[in-house]
Homo-oligomer: A and B are copies of this chain.
Amino acid sequence: MKLKHVIESQQFTVPLLMELFERTRQMEKIVARGGTQDYAQKIMASLFYEPSTRTRFSFEAAMCRLGGRVLSTEHARVFSSEIEAEQLEDTIRIISGYSDVIVLRHTEEGGARRAARVSSVPVVNAGDGRGGQHPTQALLDLYTIHRERHSLDGLTIAIVGELDKGRTARSLAYLLSKFERVKIHFVSPPEVQMRQDILDHLDEHDVWYDLSHDVAPIAGEVDVIYQTRIRPERVVDRASLGRYTIDERLLRRMKPDAMVLHPLPRTVEIDKAVDDDPRAMYFKQTTNGLFIRMALLTLLWDEE
């Protein structure tokens, strides 16, 4: 299975996901032994057109644990600003002459695809614009569930939050549609609910879902609550915010082997008291991001 670039989560088939997840488990073991020097001659160019220290550090740490080197910019201004526009292609052509992989966070939707078109080395999309993709986040979310449950078939999940603009929620829904007997509860304030394009996609793939406005009634039946950020200013009925918040009371309703995920950062939607519960998986989730990025890099290189 050829993997040339990582641009969007849709490009991953179920067999490729399973191969990736198996390799990711191996990476956990490699890190536990202190990493490897097998990729000591590889250079990653970490090209962030807007800062995102968390994502950047995750990719760069993945590279370090593989033994490689990193060229890094937290806030790319490759040329003087006057001529910056439309320079992405030239920049990528130049930087692909200096490196073995380019990790790109771009400000515009489609940036990663434009980069891949001209790059002589693999391009990994680390987020391109608000409406764009952030595929490695979706992959680490899915991996975290798979790692605990050993299967994604038959999963019941609540996806909670400001879902209309939720890049990670949308990507996760998309990936879940590839598996069997998945049930998705979309829980959100009515004015920010999941958009029709994703619902249509789920209909086409015969995935069960419903839309609701309170997480409590379904908390007892789900295997996973995938919580995402809610900005209070986007919600009309602020008094209703508690219906989308995870706290100790809600935890008591949940199954003992359920999981709480969150792509982070959070604001008010997960109470800090939840952090100590073994079902709170969001920090484990970020560490899984390290392993999945290591696995992706080696997949890209081993198949060259």
Interface residues in A227-268 by Cβ distance below 8 A to B read 229, 231, 264-267
Also in contact, A37 and B35, with CB within 8 A (given A64-B71, A74-B73, A94-B286): no
Contact of A43 among B65, B83, B287 (CB under 8 A): B65
Tell me the smallest distance from the CB of A263 to a CB of chain B, in Å.
Answer: 11
Render A71-101 as a binary contact track against B, CB cut-off 8 A, 1 for contact: 1111111110011000100110111011100
Q: How far is the CA of A64 from the CA of B51 in the complex (A)?
A: 23
Also in contact, A72 and B69, with CB within 8 A (given A54-B91, A94-B286): no
Q: How far is the CA of A137 from the CA of B265 in the complex (A)?
A: 33
* Oligomer: number of copies: 3
Residues of B within 8 A of A265 (CB): 78-79, 83, 87, 90
Instruction: Decide if the interface of chain A is mainly helix, strand, loop or mixed.
Output: mixed
Tell me the smallest distance from the CB of A65 to a CB of chain B, in Å.
Answer: 7
Question: Is B267 in contact with A83, judged by CB distance below 8 angstroms?
Answer: yes
Question: Is A264 in contact with B64, judged by CB distance below 8 angstroms?
Answer: no
Question: Is A283 in contact with B78, judged by CB distance below 8 angstroms?
Answer: no
Residues of B within 8 A of A91 (CB): 53-54
Question: Is B61 in contact with A99, judged by CB distance below 8 angstroms?
Answer: yes
Interface residues in A180-203 by Cβ distance below 8 A to B read none
Interface residues of chain A, those whose CB is within 8 Å of chain B, are: 34-35, 37, 40-41, 43, 45, 47, 51-54, 56-58, 60-61, 64-65, 69, 71-79, 82-83, 87, 90-91, 93-95, 97-99, 229, 231, 264-267, 283, 286-287, 290
